Amino acid sequence: MHFRSLRLAPGVAALVLLAAPALASAQALHAWNFDDAVGTLLPGVANSITPAALFATDIPGVATNGSGALSIQYNNIATTAVSYAPVGPYAPATGIYTLTITVAGWDLPSGTTNLQTVYFDLRNAAATAASLVTELTFLASDAGVSVRYRDSGSANNNIFLTGLPTTRSTPFILTLTINRNTNTFAVSYTDGGVTTVAIPEKALSTGSAGRTISHFDLRTLGNFTGGSFTVDSVVLASVPVLTPLQTWRQSFFQTTEPQTEPVTGSSADAADFDSDGIPNLVEYATGTNPALPTLSPLALGRDAEGRLTLGFTTIADPALTYTVQGSVDLIDWTTVSSFTSATLPAGLQLVTDTAIPGDGPRRFLRLSVTR
Ligand SMILES: [Ca+2]
Ligand SMILES: [Ca+2]
């Protein structure tokens, strides 16, 4: 723990008390890494692999990590009975997850009579069309390749991203983010180093809400010949849900975790990055900018009886405890008031000292913020 005192005005000081945090980091749940240099070519040969074949066992040169299974189809799954291998003990009823698919390229023959598609989808255990949670489709047509997003088994929810060439040999990275806390999803893609949000956060269909994602499937729909689809990797990962403080720290310091040693590290709670005398955690707790010199967040005053008052703004983060303490010698401190946003709604607070005037020649108040 570190202590840091801040003198704001005669008789007033602010203090921040720090505790070491223990926070989770991002975790890859399942990763299918294709171990050849350019990715695994999925040749456009009609029905070359039997339905429900697994990458790990049926396609040479493909490796998988983790206990999950990736199912691949080459023929029309819509008319074929398929048994899916489960993606391990994976039941994301809550939390945020990303599915990142790195495609090395493709060569999908266009045609209007038999549209060529490659599907990525996440399904629940039942693996029925109505249980689709999300679905991403590369669709080859005369107009080029589209990426189609669908959040249910219904074709009515299609949203198309058009303009991709029918043939390409440069990486295309597609990321699907599923937020099970809010039952929403979003899609972005990275092409040539530029990331574009294709679908901002959008509600999952009612047919998928509350369902368990337990299967991942990559397949082509329609037997195309003379083309190919090349995949580098498929990674399913959980994304930690940031606390309000982590979100704040990320926005100002590009990191979710505080630097702990030395205490002067720019993102440390007790650090004063902008040298305005206010520690970062106090800047956060009182709503000021830690990267811009700020006037004191504390306003000292007196009430009608002559007691000291301390005014300051609090934020709605229940993890914070605000404590006002008083002292006559800056050595021994007693608590005047202690509260959280659960006991006192966020906003302007005015704390009145418990000491009566005339107790001594000097009186100090300070604000302590802990988390
Ligand atoms: Ca500061
Ligand atoms: Ca500041």
Rounded to the nearest angstrom, the distance between the alpha carbon of 164 and the centre of ligand 1 is: 48
Q: What is the tally of structural domains in the chain?
A: 2
Rounded to the nearest angstrom, the distance between the alpha carbon of 327 and the centre of ligand 2 is: 26
**Residue 279 and residue 356 in one domain:** yes
**Residue 205 and residue 255 in one domain:** no
pLDDT of residue 154: 52
**Residue 145 and residue 68 in one domain:** yes
Question: Are 180 and 86 spatial neighbours (Cβ–Cβ below 8 Å)?
Answer: no
**26 CA to centre of own chain:** 9
- Partnered with residue 33 across adjacent β-strands are 233
Rounded to the nearest angstrom, the distance between the alpha carbon of 283 and the centre of ligand 2 is: 6
Last residue of a domain, one of 239, 270, 295: 239
Q: How far apart are CA 268 and CA 151, in angstroms?
A: 41
pLDDT of residue 200: 87
**Residue 301 and residue 226 in one domain:** no
**Residue 200 and residue 83 in one domain:** yes
**Residue 234 and residue 275 in one domain:** no
Sign, CA dihedral 278-280-286-289, equals positive
Rounded to the nearest angstrom, the distance between the alpha carbon of 4 and the centre of ligand 2 is: 16
Give me 298's structure tokens. 């504390």
Q: How far apart are CA 264 and CA 27, in angstroms?
A: 29
Confidence class for position 173, pLDDT limits 50, 70, 90: very high
Looking at all shown ligands, the one closest to residue 293's CA atom is: 2
- Amino acid occupying residue 284: Y
CATH number of the domain at 157, please.
2.60.120.200
**Residue 279 and residue 220 in one domain:** no
Last residue of a domain, one of 220, 239, 258: 239
Rounded to the nearest angstrom, the distance between the alpha carbon of 274 and the centre of ligand 2 is: 6
Q: How far apart are CA 100 and CA 234, in angstroms?
A: 6
Rounded to the nearest angstrom, the distance between the alpha carbon of 281 and the centre of ligand 1 is: 9
Average pLDDT over residues 212-223: 58
> Which residues constitute the domain of residue 187?
27-239
**Considering only 5-9, 113-117, 176-180, 233-237, which range has the smallest mean pLDDT?**
5-9
User: Which letter, b or e, does each residue of 18-41 get, where b requires 16 or more Cβ atoms within 10 Å of its Cβ?
Assistant: beeeeeeeeeebbbbebeeeebbb
Rounded to the nearest angstrom, the distance between the alpha carbon of 313 and the centre of ligand 2 is: 14
Q: What is the pLDDT of residues 298-322, one digit of tens each?
A: 999 999 988 999 999 999 999 999 9
Q: What is the pLDDT of residues 130-168, one digit of tens each?
A: 344 667 777 777 667 888 777 655 555 567 777 788 888
Rounded to the nearest angstrom, the distance between the alpha carbon of 105 and the centre of ligand 2 is: 48
Taking a 5 Å cut-off on Cβ, the residues next to ion ligand 1 are: 272, 274, 276, 278
Q: How far apart are CA 248 and CA 234, in angstroms?
A: 31
